[in-house]
A and B are shown apart, each in its own frame.
Chain A
């Protein structure tokens, strides 16, 4: 289906930070020489006294943010999601998560969205790391509006929050003009009887496309936007499992340790049903056009529909 394109998450996030900076005087923003990419450059112009560019020194940024949070400030740290995990892992685990410090961690260019830079810059392991940390909240919005709403929710939440942001423009799927983003709550975007597709981030609209295609074949597929990955909306996942008895997860992440892992862990314990996983297989991707890359690595409506069809036909 043709959808209205909206702002890129990073743009919506950058604009939201500027506005939220007016409302929350304790908000401070750090970046590590990628402010023009993460869009914190807008905050740096609007609130120069509350913006700190630490240069290409991500670990320093993260540990510094941990420290400043103990003085009552609410720091947002910013770099590419891949460097956030790879370089800031220690301060994130040993300072922020361990002590439940109030730091907000914005991972930009998540998934394969920094497509041309190549596997060295892709982040398809960030959810796995972040969700393995006690005390960590993991948010994964699906469009610009949701990214902005999740940014304020992160501020209102006490404790470390990982906000997974995507690089490119995304179709508009949500409307938060009359309600806040609620951490820990997924949303049913489409009801289904035969199979449920639980998706997150940029894969949500692909899941909707898959459901539409399946409908034409007589398969009724539900779609959930799981914009909080931790704490997982267990009730909703269980409701889907009970109702449709089949679950497909779809995420722009490794098939190991991400949303699919979270859902499978829950269902294995409480309500086992047949599952299938759409995500990047156990491989590094490569440089290339973003949509072509998603296609090559099996992150398409067709791939989602294929897995759903397989489950419904008992294959």
Chain B
């Protein structure tokens, strides 16, 4: 079902707000990863505010949909979405990465309500998400498991071990989303480790592949619906994105992977994002 105009406007509005909050927070704490967080804003927003079945008052509800942030360094966008959703107070965001906070530099499932899996060391997310999907099927539960992968992250060998097994086990209740921004830490993926034909690779491993623009909420929503309809095999949504999206001087730049934001940069970024909080 196509995304209705009011829903589209709502998701876009939230995305804009979330970008502002991410920049505000990372500027304030002078640490953290802006590039990869901004890249995933629409994807995470559409999941949590349009598609996923979760209950912030009952974060451990057994039938909840699961979201795994494979690329754990994008924790800020996850935290912003979880806070808005009501898993914890929005003012907690100010404590990100500070001593005593439940908001760790990378997601910690033991500390933060709504975080399903501790991530940070790249590559483990897809395998773990598979386990969740397998558990759902064994118990006859109809929840879906979503996992967001970085395109640098898929250079890890374990990702391809998981790609093989998820296909073997026919996990059609698992949807992976690739944040295909073509930039990693040291440079572009082409410079550091070319990914080749991403669609052909996943297809040859037995996956259904959908390609979309990862900043268009209607395309994301539609792809998530289509993935749900695929039976007998897992689906990966290859979402073309821009690392640092929304802040022109960060866009496409590996140097903005994990750099503190200066006062001037903060003001320029806020002007572009239209301010607001």
Q: Given A56-B193, A59-B157, A120-B105: A35 and B186 within 8 A (CB)?
A: yes
- A180 interfacial contact with B, CB 8 Å: no
- B155 interfacial contact with A, CB 8 Å: yes
Contacts of A82 in B (CB 8 A): 121
Q: Given A34-B186, A54-B193: A117 and B105 within 8 A (CB)?
A: yes
B185 touches A118 (CB 8 A): no
Shortest distance between the CB of B22 and any CB in chain A (Å): 16
Contacts of A288 in B (CB 8 A): 97-101
Contacts of A5 in B (CB 8 A): none
B106 touches A55 (CB 8 A): no
Instruction: For chain B, residues 186 to 208, give those with C-beta under 8 angstroms from any C-beta of chain A.
Output: 186, 189, 192-193
Shortest distance between the CB of A104 and any CB in chain B (Å): 20
A53 touches B119 (CB 8 A): no
B122 touches A287 (CB 8 A): no
- A60 interfacial contact with B, CB 8 Å: yes
**CB closest chain-B residue, reference A59:** B157
Contacts of B123 in A (CB 8 A): 56
B121 touches A53 (CB 8 A): no
Instruction: For chain B, residues 92 to 135, give those with C-beta under 8 angstroms from any C-beta of chain A.
Output: 97-101, 103-106, 108, 118-123
Q: Given A83-B121, A288-B97, A288-B98: A56 and B105 within 8 A (CB)?
A: no
- A289 interfacial contact with B, CB 8 Å: yes
Contacts of A31 in B (CB 8 A): 186
Q: Given A57-B193, A116-B105, A288-B98: A33 and B152 within 8 A (CB)?
A: yes
B155 touches A120 (CB 8 A): no
Q: Given A33-B185, A33-B192, A116-B97: A56 and B104 within 8 A (CB)?
A: no
- B142 interfacial contact with A, CB 8 Å: no
A83 to B72, CA, bound (A): 15
- A119 interfacial contact with B, CB 8 Å: yes
In the assembled complex, 12 residue pairs joining A and B whose CB atoms fall closer than 8 Å, in A order, are A33-B155, A34-B186, A53-B193, A59-B157, A117-B120, A118-B120, A119-B108, A121-B105, A287-B97, A287-B101, A288-B97, A289-B99
Shortest distance between the CB of B217 and any CB in chain A (Å): 28
A26 to B123, CA, bound (A): 32
A41 touches B99 (CB 8 A): no
- A177 interfacial contact with B, CB 8 Å: no
B99 touches A117 (CB 8 A): no
Contacts of A293 in B (CB 8 A): 99
Q: Given A56-B122, A57-B193, A121-B120: A287 and B104 within 8 A (CB)?
A: yes
Shortest distance between the CB of B76 and any CB in chain A (Å): 12
A57 touches B155 (CB 8 A): yes
Shortest distance between the CB of B186 and any CB in chain A (Å): 5
> What are the nearest 7 A-B pairs in CB distance?
A55-B193, A120-B120, A288-B99, A118-B105, A55-B155, A118-B104, A117-B105
B155 touches A56 (CB 8 A): yes
B193 touches A120 (CB 8 A): no
Instruction: For chain A, residues 37 to 96, give those with C-beta under 8 angstroms from any C-beta of chain B.
Output: 37, 41, 53-57, 59-60, 82-83, 86-87
Contacts of B108 in A (CB 8 A): 118-120
A262 to B123, CA, bound (A): 33
- B175 interfacial contact with A, CB 8 Å: no
A117 touches B106 (CB 8 A): yes
A286 touches B192 (CB 8 A): no
- A22 interfacial contact with B, CB 8 Å: no
B193 touches A116 (CB 8 A): no
Of the residues A37, A87, A121, contact of B106 by C-beta under 8 Å? A121
Of the residues B105, B118, B189, B193, contact of A287 by C-beta under 8 Å? B105
Contacts of B31 in A (CB 8 A): 116
Main secondary structure of the interface of B (DSSP, over half): loop
Shortest distance between the CB of A77 and any CB in chain B (Å): 15
- B179 interfacial contact with A, CB 8 Å: no
- A242 interfacial contact with B, CB 8 Å: no
Contacts of B185 in A (CB 8 A): 33-34, 36-37, 56
- B234 interfacial contact with A, CB 8 Å: no
B19-63 near A? 1/0 per residue, CB < 8 Å: 000000000000110000000000000000000000000000000
**CB closest chain-A residue, reference B96:** A287
- A292 interfacial contact with B, CB 8 Å: yes
Shortest distance between the CB of B156 and any CB in chain A (Å): 6
Contacts of B184 in A (CB 8 A): 33, 55-56
A36 to B118, CA, bound (A): 25
In the complex, given contacts A118-B120, A287-B97, A288-B97, what are 7 additional A-B residue pairs having Cβ atoms less than 8 angstroms apart?
Answer: A36-B186, A55-B189, A56-B184, A118-B105, A118-B106, A120-B120, A121-B120
Contacts of A34 in B (CB 8 A): 185-186
Shortest distance between the CB of B246 and any CB in chain A (Å): 23
- A187 interfacial contact with B, CB 8 Å: no
Which of A35, A82, A83, A119 has the most CB atoms of chain B within a 10 A radius of its CB? Answer: A119
Contacts of A289 in B (CB 8 A): 98-99
**CB closest chain-A residue, reference B72:** A120
**CB closest chain-B residue, reference A120:** B120
Q: Given A118-B108, A119-B108, A120-B119: A53 and B186 within 8 A (CB)?
A: yes
- A243 interfacial contact with B, CB 8 Å: no
A296 to B157, CA, bound (A): 37
**CB closest chain-B residue, reference A38:** B186
Shortest distance between the CB of B94 and any CB in chain A (Å): 14
Q: Given A57-B155, A57-B193: A119 and B104 within 8 A (CB)?
A: yes
A287 touches B98 (CB 8 A): yes
Shortest distance between the CB of B131 and any CB in chain A (Å): 19
